[in-house]
Structure 1
């Protein structure tokens, strides 16, 4: 007990310290970057600072403290010189609650909505005028100190170029009712005016809104509505390059490998700054951003101050279309143009080395982005803020998305016996929050299985032996029997028998082989499966079982069997009858171990595996993708097309048309880091095996992120972080509209409509008479799924046999094999001849 109290005190002190540090750091705008010790004349590669190691953390073996630089925002804090603030209303009688106080650098002075006499009613808004146009990507809100009154609950953020025309909000959401600083992100874009509107007060204490300080963040990454341009045929030249001491040629920035670099000349007499590198696309294209990858083997030559200019002929370059100063770190950097340019040549000129270590410039990779075509690349909706980091999510009937994380808004978890949850109403966009105490279960880093009756079973995690059930029909959580083996990071799937199966999970609980066990919905108890040890399914991770039995990819088949197809390179057949058994099913073609990758079922007995890395962290991710086909006991694996980007910690979602969308991840996976983030999603086509780029994401989605197919055929992508007070906490998400729903101008395509004939429940083997408005080409069942830690074993796409039964009527057959259509809740989609899906109808099969 004493050690637990000491741990709690340590956490509280650290939290307070980091919050103060962030508050001060946010106010010291324009602070000169930290300067490292000067390197010798020869800029030999230096090892990168050791990424933060979970296992050596002082907090606990599994819950790390944040890195020392955790509070640095992911984007530059904009200089507030010359800014002004106005508000819809402000208190001037009872206190000095003027809007200008949010810009004075003093957290003790506040803006407060009018409260004397008759209080001004909600909503209240405050508008920042920067008196210049700048690229903006986030609003940082600091609550008042000493009182909770006026903290915004539901909020929206809008941007304007002229202060008159605002358009739709770029971000909405709900904030947690606490004193922490809130970073409210959105797709970066140019603006002069930024408006924060509080629609409710977080604690419902009164009709008030207040703020101590407001800061804005600048350009953090690739802007929204863009896509990576194809680099086929491109060439690169530089003002100078190193060819004697190393291969530092300019061409290396186009080879797809961050480890090969362009480096300015350093042997003999180093070439002085500035240095420039010019990309020749050999064709004219619309360009709106340059993406800069620092070298991966050390800090020397990281670009600091820079400008970007464009040209149509390679001789005449106009005024810079982007300029700024990048931070001295390993994160991918983006120069967002103030306007889209039609150009053939793009030149990056660097005038300072970020750490002032020497007169050098280097780059691992350079990419260019241009405007996305909605019909080809899809589009992103506004950012929706959550009162927690959505580490785990489940799709529910009634157009709801359930999310949960840990015992506190931005904590790691720690067996505290309660969990923060939230529900996003997909129709209204509103997010509601609730703390779950009655199950005695901190459900952070759990296993998840969607049960046959539509309930959600959550096991282990921080309270490693516990198991809890969420019932969407009653919106209630309840406890069920604890597991025989305490676990965290375990894998789960529902079985064809209706039982739930769990395996692995050495992240939490006592050591030892985390053998399989199964939960019965009839007895609500767990039975041991001693014949299914975890060891045969482990990877060769150097951290041992703590990492090697995490997040297994499980695919349930007929007769209570399961194919474990990863992340270990060896696949295994698992039987859950009696004591259970496990037997090799061959290797996954030539794939190495692929921890932090994932697998998704895109057709009956067919799965796609994507990315991952040989170890859980600190090893390069892969671009490799494989198909795995099951026919009876036979399993066949084959390489398919490679991803454009190497990815670990990504999330994959199968669409009703059978294509698979991949979101987020890192080229070099490190928990709680946004370095080497991949912001360009990709879409895999089973007909060609090829991946194509999708519209870029505004916010990185890495460790602790999720993605889910929604009932309208779109995809939710969110989360990432949950590492205390660090800057990589992403308590938000956004909905992506795939290209199959959009015309070239971004307008929605006409969609099929299911008008009737879908019962709330149907038995396996049943035939449904489904009525539609107009003709449709096919029907498909998509299992309502749950995601966490890049893994979603609940995903399952089941194409259905259908025949026309008259005008606007179809006989739709559900497979009789519960190994094909696992018991549970499904979304039934109708698709037209072009693959455009209807809105789904929910049906529980079983």
Structure 2
């Protein structure tokens, strides 16, 4: 076996931007209104990549990894590129479009402003004069002046400059001079168009840009699924068979501990080396997935090409090419186009670390286009003016999101929070900074209250508590907690009170015992009988990590089942001083920090993923069901995930299945290494997980997922590490397969036509109109998510009786331990499990 060699660390690079001399003037092109009044202070110059400082996280939050500033995708070389604009300023100033490609941030493109300004929207179109895989556009605002900074935007792609299709990304940018990376699902294109819909500060009908860059293949596939490898064979240009088993067949054996290695005994076979997979059938293929060896660095593929063939003899021009980084993470080569082929050849012309003339591979997989009716589909990426670290679903088709005091980083106790609201009907995102509560709501506990308001506690301002009221779109402060906390767990109780436990990430040292907030008195009462210690994991960092993100399930009489992430489960009472007693272990599960629990039916929960410690320990693929019957909780192992995950997010669907998004097989905050890009869907009828359409953007630490009122799922966020490459200030909506035909068209859906009041008491019945026959009804609690935890989501199937064609009596359970007070989405489902669009109802 070849020696492991020395791992070479590559120089960090954030964005390839030049920095020229600064120019000061008195025009809109330089940030001054046409009236001659300066629109704002001149921002500080944007530093070059080499001058960017490392992120400085707050104490307790861990250290940003050394590789966190390395880009998640290569910056494409701009040689030969051209750019055109819908309009440009060429009379009074040089505001031509070509300035965005000149490498000088002091020169800019500016929309026409002399005479009559050209009205918004404005566009910039980059022609790369070749087809390449593109995964992001990097927009550098002007570094002097403010006018023309882009606010709302969209990005479209084309292979011919004529056919553009729907935008691949839309969103809203913060009004600052920081370079913005606008990501989308990687795909082949020649033309990339950036459309500015609004000016960030509403200063005028202008748009400007200092530089544009494009990022290439990030090494992660999108909108694909793994092809089954049954019957496949692999051959290589050469292989090591004398001193070890380095045969090509090892890349298809499903064991990443075995690998193909080029011949190295005697005289090594010189580069290039090739590996050819024969699928023994012609199949649509759109990506190749390469997994490096686990036991050493030698032979990692660096510079590569991928070619295809239908006969094994004639291989055409490369469908993918590039250079992979010198690390052990799984890599993907996304094809510039989907091809029908039988043979796929990976040719490696350089070893990633230049350690020698070797090539190796642990596993090779191929991906093909997803079948919407089986795997679902992803919508365009929506950009946010912050990293959505916490989210809550609101009536009126809105999604509330917030991060910290800053849009892309956390730290300190600053007393204010950046928030945003996504309008699910229009796709527009609006931003607001919340100062009036004196609360930096980063790393909080969240509970959706009985009246539909959102209670947010602790975090960076560790004792504070704030409430958002969707009816008035207003934030207010409530009484501070008795114990300061961060990373705590919360749930609403059947009594309508809110319970909190744990949270040693912030605040003074000491046990984070439980306490309860009363909506009547707006005060907190201590529960000295509910210490956090019995519910802790055995994390080596102690309470700081061991009492984080607990999984709580509220039941009747104000009781709570704490069913994780500790392997021991506990029953908690909240009357009087409270109490905590063992409910037994979660079957044979170990501690599963940063895993999650999902109530998929009345008294039934699925727990999955996580790892024994918060970070730097392998995640588990194990999943368990927990059945709750009175004071008994019984855990049983169900089918495993296809991939181990920590930092993932799980969402229960109206049909009772559970969708799992993102996560890492080796949890490491602020890193996209070991990302799991293929979501999975768990079916309670079979206990098995099946793959869904691959995500285009990793969702790991600080990501979220929420069920939406149209039966789709929002997945977004990740990062919040400042000047690093893993900030994902965006999200995308996933359409589950139950809504789609094989061609991607929507299935016919049931419709709720009436009979759903704004409020109804537990134990009452509704007469619901549907306009046609339906099979069942279900209540889905409007939920809130942060840090892989969502204790608010809950699925409650309802008893129903047909009154007449298109009219049903629907009964709400009387037990408030089953249907917690609060806002729900009422869905009707047909016999195939296709859900209607929901109607919101508050159950009292």
Deviation at 1:192?
1.1
Q: Which residue of 2 aligns with 1:212?
A: 210
SS at structure 1 position matched to 2:710: coil
Deviation at 1:66?
4.1
Q: Which residue of 2 aligns with 1:45?
A: none
Q: Distance in 2 between matches of 1:350 and 1:103?
A: 31
Q: What's the CA shift string for 1:64-89, capped at 9, x where partnerless? A: 56444433321111110011111111
Structure 1 residues 321, 58: closer, same or farther in 2, change over 3 A?
A: closer
Q: Which residue of 2 aligns with 1:420?
A: 418
Q: Which residue of 1 aligns with 2:656?
A: 658
Q: Distance in 2 between matches of 1:258 and 1:488?
A: 38
Query: Does the CA-based 8 Å contact 2:567-2:586 persist in structure 1?
Result: yes
2:171 is the counterpart of 1:173: yes
Q: Which residue of 2 aligns with 1:558?
A: 556
Q: Which residue of 2 aligns with 1:191?
A: 189
2:591 to 593, 600, 622: 593
Query: Does the CA-based 8 Å contact 1:91-1:114 persist in structure 2?
Result: yes
Q: Which residue of 1 aligns with 2:326?
A: 328
Q: Distance in 2 between matches of 1:212 and 1:331?
A: 34
Structure 1 residues 724, 845: closer, same or farther in 2, change over 3 A?
A: same
Deviation at 1:371?
0.8
Q: Which residue of 2 aligns with 1:366?
A: 364
Structure 1 residues 96, 68: closer, same or farther in 2, change over 3 A?
A: farther
Q: Distance in 2 between matches of 1:591 and 1:295?
A: 29
Deviation at 1:27?
8.8
TM-score by length of 1: 0.92
Q: What's the CA shift string for 1:377-434, capped at 9, x where partnerless? A: 1111110000000000000000000000010111123211100000000000000000
Q: What's the CA shift string for 1:156-177, capped at 9, x where partnerless? A: 1111122122111111000011
1:94 to 92, 95, 102: 92
Q: Distance in 1 between matches of 2:465 and 2:258?
A: 48
Query: Does the CA-based 8 Å contact 1:63-1:414 persist in structure 2?
Result: no
Q: Distance in 2 between matches of 1:740 and 1:830?
A: 13
Mean Cα deviation higher: 293-302 or 612-621: 293-302
Q: Distance in 2 between matches of 1:21 and 1:776?
A: 55
1:519 to 490, 504, 517: 517
SS at structure 2 position matched to 1:206: coil
SS at structure 1 position matched to 2:738: helix
Structure 1 residues 593, 258: closer, same or farther in 2, change over 3 A?
A: farther
TM-score by length of 2: 0.92
SS at structure 2 position matched to 1:595: coil
Q: Which residue of 1 aligns with 2:282?
A: 284
Matches within 5 A, 1:121-132: 121-132=119-130
Q: Which residue of 2 aligns with 1:789?
A: 787
Q: What's the CA shift string for 1:504-549, capped at 9, x where partnerless? A: 1111111111111111111111111111111111111111111111
1:442 to 440, 443, 460: 440
Q: What's the CA shift string for 1:634-675, capped at 9, x where partnerless? A: 211111111111111111110000011111111111101011
Deviation at 1:559?
0.9
Structure 1 residues 344, 474: closer, same or farther in 2, change over 3 A?
A: same
1:735 to 721, 733, 736: 733
Query: Does the CA-based 8 Å contact 1:23-1:142 persist in structure 2?
Result: no
Query: Does the CA-based 8 Å contact 1:65-1:723 persist in structure 2?
Result: no
Query: Does the CA-based 8 Å contact 2:439-2:461 persist in structure 1?
Result: yes
1:378 to 376, 379, 384: 376
Matches within 5 A, 1:15-30: 22-24=14-16
Q: Distance in 1 between matches of 2:624 and 2:428?
A: 38
Matches within 5 A, 1:346-745: 346-745=344-743
Structure 1 residues 506, 255: closer, same or farther in 2, change over 3 A?
A: farther
Query: Does the CA-based 8 Å contact 1:222-1:289 persist in structure 2?
Result: no
Matches within 5 A, 1:757-768: 757-768=755-766
Query: Does the CA-based 8 Å contact 1:58-1:64 persist in structure 2?
Result: no
Query: Does the CA-based 8 Å contact 1:26-1:77 persist in structure 2?
Result: no
Deviation at 1:296?
4.0
Structure 1 residues 467, 256: closer, same or farther in 2, change over 3 A?
A: farther
Query: Does the CA-based 8 Å contact 1:600-1:653 persist in structure 2?
Result: yes
Q: What's the CA shift string for 1:779-822, capped at 9, x where partnerless? A: 00000000001110111000000000112110000000000001
**Structure 2 gap ranges (5+):** 1-11, 21-53
Structure 1 residues 302, 524: closer, same or farther in 2, change over 3 A?
A: same
SS at structure 1 position matched to 2:104: coil
Q: Distance in 2 between matches of 1:596 and 1:94?
A: 57
Q: Distance in 2 between matches of 1:357 and 1:126?
A: 43
SS at structure 2 position matched to 1:304: strand
Structure 1 residues 178, 247: closer, same or farther in 2, change over 3 A?
A: farther
Deviation at 1:575?
1.0
Q: Which residue of 2 aligns with 1:843?
A: 841
Deviation at 1:307?
1.4
Mean Cα deviation higher: 836-845 or 328-337: 328-337
Q: What's the CA shift string for 1:179-201, capped at 9, x where partnerless? A: 11100011111111111111111
Q: Distance in 1 between matches of 2:247 and 2:414?
A: 54
Q: Distance in 2 between matches of 1:833 and 1:74?
A: 44
Q: Distance in 2 between matches of 1:756 and 1:146?
A: 56
Q: Distance in 2 between matches of 1:629 and 1:459?
A: 29
SS at structure 2 position matched to 1:559: helix
Deviation at 1:329?
3.3
Q: Distance in 2 between matches of 1:462 and 1:250?
A: 52
Mean Cα deviation higher: 274-283 or 183-192: 274-283
Q: Distance in 2 between matches of 1:114 and 1:298?
A: 57
Deviation at 1:95?
1.5
SS at structure 1 position matched to 2:752: strand
Structure 1 residues 757, 326: closer, same or farther in 2, change over 3 A?
A: same
SS at structure 1 position matched to 2:790: coil
Deviation at 1:221?
3.6
SS at structure 2 position matched to 1:755: coil
Q: Distance in 2 between matches of 1:235 and 1:616?
A: 40
Deviation at 1:327?
2.3
Q: Distance in 2 between matches of 1:582 and 1:245?
A: 59
SS at structure 2 position matched to 1:439: coil
Deviation at 1:202?
0.5
1:815 to 813, 816, 819: 813
Mean Cα deviation higher: 325-334 or 71-80: 325-334
Q: What's the CA shift string for 1:281-303, capped at 9, x where partnerless? A: 34432211001223345533221
Deviation at 1:268?
5.0
Deviation at 1:239?
3.5
Deviation at 1:356?
1.0
Matches within 5 A, 1:65-80: 66-80=64-78
Q: Distance in 2 between matches of 1:583 and 1:621?
A: 28
1:117 to 115, 121, 126: 115
Matches within 5 A, 1:232-311: 232-242=230-240, 248-256=246-254, 258-311=256-309
Q: Which residue of 2 aligns with 1:11?
A: none
Q: Distance in 1 between matches of 2:236 and 2:217?
A: 25
Query: Does the CA-based 8 Å contact 2:68-2:671 persist in structure 1?
Result: no
Matches within 5 A, 1:750-761: 750-761=748-759
Q: Distance in 1 between matches of 2:75 and 2:16?
A: 12
Q: Distance in 1 between matches of 2:470 and 2:368?
A: 42
SS at structure 1 position matched to 2:358: coil
Q: Which residue of 1 aligns with 2:46?
A: none
Q: Distance in 2 between matches of 1:551 and 1:94?
A: 58
Deviation at 1:308?
1.4
Q: Distance in 2 between matches of 1:491 and 1:543?
A: 19
Deviation at 1:328?
2.4
Aligned residues: 800
